[in-house]
Structure 1
Amino acid sequence: YKVGQRFGPHIDESIDLEGGHSTEYTLLVYLNGTNSSTSNNQNLVGGETVFYDSRKRIVAE
């Protein structure tokens, strides 16, 4: 993501695949760090993960 970009609230859903298979899990990976050639020694800030139920009500932050 570039500065100001984000992925809005959404609910991950199961997807039906060939052969009667479907997806079941979401893998959430946090990547952070600095590029040493442009680093100004400031810590990265921001970002959040919120879990919603099917009615888009917050169930965990």
Structure 2
Amino acid sequence: MTFYTCLDDKGSVIARCQTEEEIAVLRRMGRPIAKVRAMKKQEAVVCSLTGSPSDYNDEY
């Protein structure tokens, strides 16, 4: 499974998402996503151990 990190134009993390559909929802909500980066397997393991990537998205 691929997790994604959404970054703003300054490189700050906006959200961590599990699907491209979640990224599209954030964009429709007006989040200033400038770049989407697939997470490395080591980073994705942390997400799956600590909970759903949607836990990082306060506006859901």
Q: Give the number of the structure whose residues are more often helix, by fraction.
A: 2
TM-score normalised by L of structure 1: 0.23
Q: Give the number of the structure whose residues are more often strand, by fraction.
A: 2
Higher relative contact order (CA 8 A, sep 6+): 2
Larger radius of gyration, structure 1 or 2? 1
TM-score normalised by L of structure 2: 0.23
